[in-house]
Amino acid sequence: MTGIVNEMAQGTPDIRRQNHLGAVGDGFGALTFTGDVMLKRLDEEVYRKLQQTMTQGQPLDRAIANKVASAMKEWALENGCSHFCHWFQPLTGSTAEKHDAFLVPDDEGRAIARFSGDELIRGEPDASSFPSGGIRDTYEARGYTAWDATSPAFILKTGDTATLCIPTAFVSWTGEALDKKTPLLRSIQAVSKQAMRILRIFGTHKGVSQVITTLGSEQEYFLIDRDFYLRRPDLQICGRTLVGAPPPKGQQLDDHYFGAIDERVMAFMSEVERRLYELGVPVKTRHNEVAPGQYEIAPVFENANVATDHQMLMMHALRASAGHHGLVCLLHEKPFAQINGSGKHNNWSLATDTGVNLLDPRDEAHTNMQFLVFLLAVVRAIDVHADLLRASIASAGNDYRLGANEAPPAIVSVYLGEMLNDILDQLERGKPKSTKKGGRLDLGAHTLPQIPRHSSDRNRTSPFAFTGNKFEYRAIGSSASIAWPNTVLNTIIAESLDHLATRIEAEMEGTASEQKLQEVVMEALKDVIHRHRRVVFDGDNYDPRWHEEARRRGLPNLKSTVDCLPTLSSQKAVKLFGKYGVLSERELRARVEVLWEQYSTILGIEARTLVSMVRKTVLPQALRYQVELARAVTSAQAAGVDFEDTWTQLQECVQMIEELRAGTAAVGQAESQPVATSERRAMHIRDALVPAMARARAASDALEAVIPEDLWTLPTYAQMLFQR
């Protein structure tokens, strides 16, 4: 086989070193138990064994665990920790921690600092209030946290208090997953197993012990002044504005995008970066985003498990640091109507543990059959399971964002670009003969250099785009954990790799002929192209004609969470997650039940907040305005001057108030209507509550547009977005 990549692509960071000190410089990750810290504090044998556990997932025996725990404790105490916690990711989508002091009484009643291997490896929080989707009842609520040695322990500083955090998985007494990490780890294993089969087919597996899922997740967020936030119950309770008239200027000028970062925001960003740097999160990029008040932060990629933990820490650092600068960081998918919402771009690839990116086509992509197998496995996976991938990012918050002209549409398609599409064309016809090159760009001014051009342009509208040597899934919501979407992504790709490996292995019938392998692989790839190319779309995903075309191609268009969730309990899904050992049927159903409940709960809270804001703030203000107008009419009348226009204004105000009352009543009614199951309740919410909330909001926004400034007490969009 020719053209197989066997060294590290230039510029690709060494993923094995990524979580270890030294990769970025001195002091990097000073608050993580990795690299130099470990090296200094563990004897050689313990260090080696722990490394094997961390990189190859080998079990750790008790004696070693005790030594690791003791070293961790010493390190933590020296860094000012008095407590440790098992840090985990329950199905709420947040992180959870229950702190315990290192101090225990000894036989003589003195307090000594202790942290044993048992305490490191296993915890038993009484975590009975976390959602379990019916897997456990509160009366039999035993749950365990289990140390995930593959993700470095870290010290989290909250003000002056430092706590040792041990990343853990959270499972029930029966061993069923109650968290987001456990299935993610299982899916990483599944995709590695199947990818290794492909490497074996091509003979490129030598020296490789596993295939690693790599992830880099760009995070968008808003910053607003804390004073405004404290005067907006909707932002405090729901994370998004439930009412608010659009300002005269939104993002039309695109002048915020990549603009100069102002001083207060820069100070905030620097603090976030410093905190993350200490925690070993390799932050690389910062910039202003499209909407006013919107920003982005992006790390260098890491292995998927660590990247997911680090993503949670990143959101934590953003939220926690904002307060020091009089700001609040909004991570909601759609904090403001009529301007862009926020998402996460999930950059995903597969690499060998020797550092070879399996989705790097290199210069001669057409000869790199192994690359084409991985690429087309992804294309096939997205086509076969577009519904599941779409469902993996469904949430109440993301419903407000997806499909607007800012985020990818709900139709999941793949962007490949000109070069790869050309290779697919060639493959369909026979043996591919060439790879399109980008050439050089002449910029027309002698003082500017000629720069090499990529072989295809970028596409900003595609939900799932090939971006040179990785795929970028762009539809994830900004507040979501990336664990679940990546669990689904890994699992569907494991299945496609399995499908291709099984076919190729069977057709090779144990022979090792290069010639035959070429033929067998080509036929398999042709078949994938023939059946699944319909999911490839390189055009403008915002164009309404694409929606029409996608329907013609038979691609699913699942518009809301309520449309999505049933696909996760389909027989297809149960079989898929079961087959690859990612989730049992019970675990999957439990998860879906939690998702249904979360959707309804979030919208219920939004509805009640809206009703309360209208009753306590908007309506009283509107009535005061009505009184003012009525007074103006009577005094004009008494003075004998023309009062016609003021009379009309009063009439309009009365009508708007009537509409506000009617809309709010409809919200209250829809919200309190009893509905039997969580699934039916969610449907009722989509069909009755969401439209009622939109109606009440429209009436409130119409009033906001006419009520005088001194009567309107809620901070306006213009204030929140532009005053910083």
Give the footprint of Mg ion on this chain (CB under 5 A): 345
Structure tokens at 283: 């932050």
Report the residue from 18, 34, 89, 349 that binds ligand ADP according to the rule CB under 6 A: 349
Q: How far apart are CA 469 and CA 229, in angstroms?
A: 41
Q: Output 214 or 395, the one with its CB closest to ligand ADP.
A: 214
Q: What whole-number distance in Å separates Cα of residue 478 and Cα of residue 483?
A: 13
Q: How far is the CB of 660 from ligand ADP (least distance, A)?
A: 42
For residue 247, count other CB atoms closer than 10 A to its CB.
17
- What residues pair up with 154 in beta bridges, in sequence order? 32, 165
301 binds, among Mg ion, ligand ADP, none (CB under 5 to 8 A by kind): ligand ADP
Sign of CA dihedral 70, 74, 77, 81: negative
346 contact choice in Mg ion, ligand ADP, none (CB below 5 to 8 Å, kind-dependent)? none
CB of residue 472 to Mg ion, shortest distance in Å? 5
Q: Binding residues for ligand ADP, how many (CB under 6 A)?
A: 15
Does residue 470 belong to the site contacting ligand ADP (CB under 6 A)? yes
Amino acid at 568: L
DSSP 138: G
Which residue lies nearer to ligand ADP by CB, 217 or 395?
Answer: 217
Contact partner, 300, from Mg ion, ligand ADP, none, Cβ < 5-8 Å per class: ligand ADP
Binds 19: which of ligand ADP, Mg ion, none (CB < 5-8 Å by kind): none
Rg over alpha carbons for the chain, rounded to the nearest Å, is: 28
Nearer to Mg ion, 11 or 510 (CB): 11
Per DSSP, what are the bridge partners of residue 440? 452
Minimum Å gap between C-beta 458 and Mg ion is 9
* Exposed/middle/buried for residue 559 (C-beta within 10 Å: 0-12, 13-18, 19+): middle
β pairing state of 161-172 and 81-88: parallel
Region of 125-133, 299-307, 407-415, 652-660 interacting with ligand ADP (CB under 6 A): 299-307
**Minimum Å distance from CB 558 to Mg ion?**
24
569 binds ligand ADP (CB under 6 A): no
Asked whether position 308 contacts ligand ADP by CB under 6 A, the answer is no
Q: Single out the residue of 118, 18, 117, 22 nearest to residue 71, CA to CA.
A: 117
**Taking a C-beta distance cutoff of 8 angstroms, is the pair 391, 489 a contact?**
no
Among 235, 298, 393, 670, binds ligand ADP (CB under 6 A): 298
Find which of Mg ion, ligand ADP, none residue 461 binds, CB within 5 to 8 Å per kind. none
When CB distances are held under 5 to 8 angstroms depending on the partner's kind, the choice from Mg ion, ligand ADP, none that residue 49 binds is: none
- 652 CB-contact burial (10 Å; exposed 0-12 / middle 13-18 / buried 19+): middle
Which of 251, 347, 370, 479 binds ligand ADP (CB under 6 A)? It is 347
Count how many Cα atoms sit within 13 Å of the Cα of residue 122 in the half-sphere of its side chain: 11
Burial 273-311 (b: 16+ CB within 10 A, else e): bebbbbbbbbbeebebbbbbbbbbbbbbbbbbbbbbbbb
Q: What is the 3-state secondary structure (H, E, C) of 596-643?
A: HHHHHHHHHHHHHHHHHHHHHHHHHHHHHHHHHHHHHHHHHHHHCCCC
In the complex, minimum distance from the CB of residue 497 to Mg ion, in angstroms, rounded to a whole number: 24
Tokens of 295: 């920003």
Question: In the bound complex, what is the minimum distance in angstroms from residue 9's beta carbon to ligand ADP?
Answer: 8
Least distance CB 460 / Mg ion (angstroms): 9
Nearer to Mg ion, 344 or 345 (CB): 345
Give least dist CB 348 to Mg ion, A. 11
Closest approach of ligand ADP to the CB of residue 274, in Å = 19
Q: Token pair 């080696």 is at which residue?
A: 48
Q: Which residue is nearest to ligand ADP (CB)?
A: 216
Applying the rule CB under 6 A, the residues between 214 and 273 that interact with ligand ADP are 214-216, 218
Comparing every residue's Cβ against Mg ion, the nearest one is: 345
One residue of 237, 300, 320, 574 binding ligand ADP per CB under 6 A: 300
Nearest Cα residue to 581 out of 189, 303, 192: 189
469 contributes a contact to ligand ADP by CB under 6 A: yes
Rounded to the nearest whole angstrom, what is the least distance from the CB of residue 135 to ligand ADP in the complex? 32
For Mg ion, the closer of residues 540 and 548 by Cβ is 540
Contact flag: residue 473 with ligand ADP (CB under 6 A): no
Considering the complex, state which of residue 73 and residue 345 has its C-beta at the smaller distance from Mg ion.
Answer: 345
Tokens at 369, concatenated: 């059959």
Q: Residue 496, interface with ligand ADP (CB under 6 A)?
A: no
Helices and strands in the chain, H and E counts: 24, 19
Query: In whole angstroms, how close is the CB of 289 to ligand ADP at the nearest point?
Result: 11
If one counts every other C-beta atom within 10 angstroms of the C-beta of residue 686, the result is 20
The DSSP-derived string for 578-600 is HHTTS--HHHHHHHHHHHHHHHH
Q: In whole angstroms, how close is the CB of 349 to ligand ADP at the nearest point?
A: 3
Amino acid, res. 303: N
Q: Is 627 in contact with 612 (CB distance < 8 Å)?
A: no
Q: Does 508 sit near ligand ADP (CB under 6 A)?
A: no
Helix 263-278 to helix 304-322 angle (10° resolution) is 140
Of 123, 152, 299, 335, the residue at the interface with ligand ADP (CB under 6 A) is 299
- Each residue 166-205 as x (binds ligand ADP by CB under 6 A) or -, in order, gives ----------------------------------------
Of 281 and 501, nearer to ligand ADP (C-beta) is 281
Are the C-beta atoms of 538 and 416 separated by less than 8 Å?
Answer: yes
Which of 163, 187, 288, 357: binder of ligand ADP (CB under 6 A)? 357
Q: Which is nearer to ligand ADP, 284 or 526 (CB)?
A: 284
**List of residues contacting ligand ADP (CB under 6 A):** 214-216, 218, 298-301, 347-349, 357, 467, 469-470
